[in-house]
Amino acid sequence: MARAFFGEELEKALEKLNQQFWTVKVYVDANHNDKAGTDANFRRKIESAIWEGYPNAEENEVDQT
């Protein structure tokens, strides 16, 4: 529908935005279900995407996108 009203460029931007919400949701679920503990680097990636954001100096996966 976005493409029909606003064009392909906005449609792709909306898809990318939706993907970012999905990324955070998956990380929240992984963080919640992590009983045994994950690799420290992966845990840091999850925590960064969930908790850190603008205006922090360190960029996370979602901020970069």
Q: 2: pLDDT confidence band, cut at 50, 70 and 90?
A: confident
Q: What is the mean pLDDT of the chain?
A: 78
Q: Which of the two residues, 21 and 62, has the higher pLDDT score?
A: 21
Residue type, 9: E
Please check whether residue 17 is in contact with residue 9, taking contact to mean a CB–CB distance below 8 angstroms: no
More reliable by pLDDT, 1 or 17 = 17
Check whether 56 has a pLDDT greater than 80.
no
pLDDT at residue 57 is higher than 50: no
pTM above 0.85, yes or no: no
CB 48 within 8 A of CB 58: yes
Give every CB contact of residue 32 below 8 A, 6+ residues apart in sequence. Answer: none
